Structure 1
Amino acid sequence: MKLSHLVLWRLSLALIVVLSVWAGLFYMAVMEEVNDEVDDSLEDYSEQLIIRALQGEEMPAANNGSNNQYYLYEVSKEYALSYPQITYRDEMVYITEKKEEEPARVLITIFRASNDRYMELVVYTPTIEKMDLQRAITGWIIFLYVLLLLVILLITMWVYYRNMKPLYRLLGWLDRYRLGHPNEPLDNRTTITEFGRLNEAVTDFAGRNEKLFEQQKQFIGNASHEMQTPLAICRNRIEMLMEDDGLSERQLEELAKTHRTLENLTRMNRSLLLLCKIENGQYMDKYAVCLDEVLKHYLSDYQEVYAYRNIHVEMQVTASFCVEINDSLASVLVTNLLKNAFVHNVDGGLIRIIIDRNVFCICNTGNEPLDGIRIFERFYQGTKKEGSTGLGLALVDSICKTNHLAIRYFYEKEMHCFEISKSFQIPSSSLQ
C-alpha cells in the first residue's frame, strides 16, 4: 500500500471518530439549551400558578388559548413525601385545540397549600419536534462532515505531496539507478533536514556499492585470467602422464577423471572471465547480426552430437531475427542455448527451434519444469548434468541484458523453452 493511501485511510478513520463524537456532543448541547429555555418558561408559569393558588385567587382556565396548559389537583401526604418536589420530562400530550398529540415539555411540582393539603401542579408546553430536529441536525452534520472531511483530506494531501516531493525524486532516481552503469547525479535539493540526511545516506551507500562492485569485477577478471595458465599446464601434464605405458588401468581411470574435472574447471573459468568482460563493457562493437544465420552455422556441428542421443531437431523459421549485437557475443548466445538444449534433454527427445521477426525460441523436451525465478542465476542447476558448469544460462541472461533483449523461460507441453525477444511480451503459445 502506498504511503499516501495509508495516510488517507488512517486520517479518514480518525476524522470519522472525532467528527462523530463531535456531532453527538453538538446534538446533546443543542437539546440541553432548548430544554433549559423551555424549563425556565415552565418554572415562571408554575410559580405564577402556585402564588395564585396560595393566595386564593381565581385560577386561569386550563385551556386558555396559550401554549402553556396545566392541571392542579390534591394528592395525599404520603404521595407528596415520596416524590421529588419538582421534575421535568418529555411526553406526548393531546392538544385539544389542534386535536392531535404533540411533543411537550412537562413540569411536575408538589407544594403544600393551606390546611395541610398537598397539591400537585402539572404544567406543560408544546416544544419542538425532537425527531425532526434530530433529522435536521443529522442531515446538516452529515453534509458538513462530508464537506469538512473532503476539505481536510484535500488540504492534507496537498501539504503531504508538496512536502514529500524530495522523497519521490529520490525514489525516481533509485528506480533509474543501475549498478555498474553510468548514472546521473542525484539532484534533490531540499530544506527538510531529514530528507537531506536521507539523500546523503543514499548517495554514500551508492558510492560504496559502486566501489565494491568494481573491486569484485576486477577480482573476478584477474582471478579468472591468472587461472588460465595453471589450468592449461595441469591439463598438459595429465595428458603426458596418460601417455605413459607403465600406468595401470585404475591409474588411467583416475587420471581421466582428473582430466575431466580440469576441463570443467577450465570451461567454468572461461565463462566467468567472459561474464566479467561482458559486465565491464568490453564488447562495445555492435553489428547487425541475424541469429538464425548464426544458428545455421553451428547447428550442423551439433547435429552429430544430437544424433548420439537420438535427439531430433525441428525448425520453424518464418523470418530472420536480426539485432544489433557483438558478433562474438551472438555466437556465445546461440551456442549456449544449443548446448543447454542438448545437456538438459532426454534420450530420444526433441529440440524445437522457432524463429520469426521478433522471437528466437529454442525448446527441448524435459520431464518437469524448472525454477523460473532462479534459472538464470550463476551456478544454479535444477538437476546436476555432466558437462554443465551452471554458467551457460547466466551468460545468456547477461548478454541479453547488455543488448536490451528479453530472455524468459517457460514450460509448456513437457518442453523447456527459452525465448529471446526484442521486447517483453506475454508468453506465446509457440508449441501449439
Structure 2
Amino acid sequence: MKLFQLVMWRMSAILVVILTCWAVLFYVAVMEEVNDEVDDSLSDYAESLILRSLSGEEMPATNNGSNNQYFLYEVSAQYAASYPKISYRDEMIYITAKGETEPARVLMTIFQKDDGGYMELVVYTPTIEKYDLQRAILGWIVFLYVLLLLMILAVNAWVFYRNMRPLYTLLQWLENYRLGTKQEPLDESVRIVEFRKLNQAANLFSERSEQLYEQQKLFIGNASHEMQTPLAICRNRLEMLMEDDTLSEKQLSELMKTHRTLENLTRLNKSLLLLCKIENRQFTDVKPICLNELLMHYLDDYKEVYAYRRVQVEVHVEHCFRLEMSESLATVLLTNLLKNAFVHTEEGGTITLTFTTSSFEIRNTGEAPLNKDRIFERFYKEGKKEGSTGLGLALVDSICKAYRLRLSYRFEDGMHIFTILS
C-alpha cells in the first residue's frame, strides 16, 4: 500500500468516527434544547393554572385553542407521596382541536390545596415529530458531513502531495540511479529540513558507492591479471613435466590429476571474475541481439559432443527473440544453458530449443527434477557432476537479473524446462 493511500485511509477512518460522535452529540443537544424550551412553556402554563386554582378563580377551558390541554383532579396523600412533585415525559395524545393523535410533551405536577388536600395537574402541549426530526437531521448530517469529509480529504491530499514532492523526487532519483553512470545529484536546497538532510545523505551515499565501485573495478582488473598468469605458468610447467619420458606411470597419473585441478581452478577463477563484472555492470557493449541467430553460431560446436552421447537437438524458431544486451554476456547465457542441458540429459535423450518474440525455452530429457530452490545458488552442484564449478546457472541467473529478464525452471513430463522471458 502506498503512503498516500495509507494516510488517506487512516484519516478517513478517524474523521468518520469523529464526525459520527459529533453528529450524535449534535442531535442530543438539539433535542435537549427543544425539550427545554417546551418544558419552560409548560412550566409557565402549569404555574398560572395552579395560581388560579389556589386563588379560587375560574379555571380556563381544558382546550383553550392553543393546542394546550390540561387535566386537574384530586388525589390521595399516599398517591402524592409516591410520585415526584413535577415530571416531564413524551407520549402520544389525542388533540381535540385537530381531531388527531400527535406527539406531545407532558408535564405532571402535584400541589397541595389550602385545606390540606392534594391535586394533580397534567398539562399537554403538542411538540415536534421526533422521528421526522431524526430523519431530517440524519439526512442533513449525511449530506453535510460527507461533503465536509470529501473537502477535508481533498485539502489533505493537496497538502500531502505538495509537501511530499521532494520524497517522490528522491524515489524517482533512486529508481533511475545506476552504479557507474553519471547522474545529477539531488537538490540540497529544499525548504523542508528532513528532506534536505535525506537528499544530503543520498548524495553522500552515492559518492561513497561510486568510490567503492571504482576501487572494486580496479581490484577485479588487477586480480584477473595477477591470478591468471600464475595459473597459466603452472599449467605450462605441468604439461612440460608430463612430456618427460622418465616419469613413471604413477607419477604421470598424479601430474594429470594436478593438471585437471588447475584447469578447474582456472575455470572457477574466470567464472567468479565474470560474475563480479556482471554485478558491477562492467559490460557496456550493449546492442540489439537476435538470440536465436547467435545460438546457431555456437550450436555446431556442441553437436559433435551431443552426438557422442546420441543426444538429439531440435530447434524451433517462431520469431526472432531480440534483446538489448552485451553480446559476450548473451554468449555466456546460451553456452551455459547448453552445457547444463548436456550435463543433465541421459544418453539417447533429446534437447529442444524454442524461440518466440518474447521468450526462449530450452528443454532436455531427465530422470528426476532438480532442486528449483537451489539450482541458481553459487557452487551448488546437483548430483556432484564431475568438472562442474557450480557457477553455470548462477551466471545465467546474474545475467538475467542484470538485464531484467525473468528466468524460471520447472520439470514436466520427464523434461527439464528453463524459460527466459523478456
Q: 1:189 to 1:385 in 2, by over 3 A?
A: farther
Map of 1:259 onto structure 2: 259
Q: 1:169 to 1:238 in 2, by over 3 A?
A: same
1:344-400 per-position Cα deviation (integer Å, ceiling 9, x unaligned):
33333211122456655433234325537x755544555543222233344445656
Deviates more, 1:290-299 or 1:157-166: 290-299
User: In the aligned structure 1, how far is the partner of 2:31 from the partner of 2:238?
Assistant: 104
User: In the aligned structure 1, how far is the partner of 2:50 from the partner of 2:287?
Assistant: 114
User: In the aligned structure 2, how far is the partner of 1:121 from the partner of 1:378?
Assistant: 98
1:132-155 per-position Cα deviation (integer Å, ceiling 9, x unaligned):
111111111111110000000000
Task: Give the conservation status (yes or no) of the 8 Å contact 2:91–2:104.
Answer: yes
Q: 1:2 to 1:225 in 2, by over 3 A?
A: same
Task: Give the conservation status (yes or no) of the 8 Å contact 1:85–1:111.
Answer: yes
User: In the aligned structure 2, how far is the partner of 1:21 from the partner of 1:348?
Assistant: 79
2:408 counterpart of 1:409? yes
Q: C-alpha displacement at 1:284, in angstroms?
A: 5.0
Q: C-alpha displacement at 1:202, in angstroms?
A: 1.5
User: In the aligned structure 2, how far is the partner of 1:60 from the partner of 1:347?
Assistant: 121
Map of 1:202 onto structure 2: 202
Map of 2:353 onto structure 1: 353
2:166 counterpart of 1:166? yes
Task: Give the conservation status (yes or no) of the 8 Å contact 2:362–2:418.
Answer: yes
Map of 1:16 onto structure 2: 16
Map of 2:37 onto structure 1: 37
Q: C-alpha displacement at 1:304, in angstroms?
A: 2.5
Q: 1:177 to 1:415 in 2, by over 3 A?
A: farther
Map of 1:427 onto structure 2: none
User: In the aligned structure 1, how far is the partner of 2:67 from the partner of 2:118?
Assistant: 26
1:400-420 per-position Cα deviation (integer Å, ceiling 9, x unaligned):
677x58463343634344455
Q: What secondary structure does 1:115 align onto?
A: coil
Deviates more, 1:215-224 or 1:315-324: 315-324
Q: C-alpha displacement at 1:343, in angstroms?
A: 2.1
Q: 1:319 to 1:105 in 2, by over 3 A?
A: closer
Task: Give the conservation status (yes or no) of the 8 Å contact 1:405–1:420.
Answer: no
Map of 2:100 onto structure 1: 100
2:316 counterpart of 1:298? no
Where does 1:175-194 land on structure 2 (aligned, <5 Å)? Answer: 175-187=175-187, 189-194=189-194
Q: 1:45 to 1:345 in 2, by over 3 A?
A: same
Map of 1:217 onto structure 2: 217
User: In the aligned structure 1, how far is the partner of 2:326 from the partner of 2:138?
Assistant: 74
Q: 1:13 to 1:317 in 2, by over 3 A?
A: closer
User: In the aligned structure 2, how far is the partner of 1:129 from the partner of 1:326?
Assistant: 82
Deviates more, 1:334-343 or 1:20-29: 334-343
Where does 1:28-177 land on structure 2 (aligned, <5 Å)? Answer: 28-177=28-177
1:292-340 per-position Cα deviation (integer Å, ceiling 9, x unaligned):
4543443333222223333211122456666676665554444333222
Q: What secondary structure does 1:266 align onto?
A: helix
Task: Give the conservation status (yes or no) of the 8 Å contact 1:343–1:388.
Answer: no
Q: What secondary structure does 1:140 align onto?
A: helix
Task: Give the conservation status (yes or no) of the 8 Å contact 1:310–1:349.
Answer: yes
Unaligned runs of 5+ in 1: 425-432
Task: Give the conservation status (yes or no) of the 8 Å contact 1:166–1:188.
Answer: no
The amino acid of 1:50's aligned partner reads I
Map of 2:307 onto structure 1: 307
User: In the aligned structure 2, how far is the partner of 1:322 from the partner of 1:137?
Assistant: 67
The amino acid of 1:182's aligned partner reads K
Q: What secondary structure does 2:104 align onto?
A: strand
Task: Give the conservation status (yes or no) of the 8 Å contact 1:346–1:365.
Answer: yes
Q: 1:321 to 1:65 in 2, by over 3 A?
A: closer
User: In the aligned structure 2, how far is the partner of 1:324 from the partner of 1:160?
Assistant: 39
Deviates more, 1:338-347 or 1:17-26: 338-347
Q: How many residues align?
A: 419
The amino acid of 1:132's aligned partner reads D
Q: Normalized against structure 1, the TM-score is what? A: 0.86
User: In the aligned structure 2, how far is the partner of 1:119 from the partner of 1:51?
Assistant: 12
User: In the aligned structure 1, how far is the partner of 2:262 from the partner of 2:300?
Assistant: 28
Q: C-alpha displacement at 1:84, in angstroms?
A: 1.6
1:120-172 per-position Cα deviation (integer Å, ceiling 9, x unaligned):
11111111111111111111111111000000000011100100000001001
Map of 1:429 onto structure 2: none
User: In the aligned structure 2, how far is the partner of 1:325 from the partner of 1:124?
Assistant: 93
User: In the aligned structure 2, how far is the partner of 1:201 from the partner of 1:383?
Assistant: 48
Deviates more, 1:267-276 or 1:236-245: 236-245
The amino acid of 1:6's aligned partner reads L
2:372 counterpart of 1:371? yes
Map of 2:386 onto structure 1: 386
User: In the aligned structure 1, how far is the partner of 2:418 from the partner of 2:3?
Assistant: 38
1:206-263 per-position Cα deviation (integer Å, ceiling 9, x unaligned):
22222223323332332232111222233334445555655464x6555444332221
The amino acid of 1:313's aligned partner reads V
Q: C-alpha displacement at 1:118, in angstroms?
A: 0.7
Q: C-alpha displacement at 1:180, in angstroms?
A: 2.9
Q: What secondary structure does 1:354 align onto?
A: strand
1:1-32 per-position Cα deviation (integer Å, ceiling 9, x unaligned):
11111111111111111111111111111111
1:257-290 per-position Cα deviation (integer Å, ceiling 9, x unaligned):
4332221110121233344556677765577765
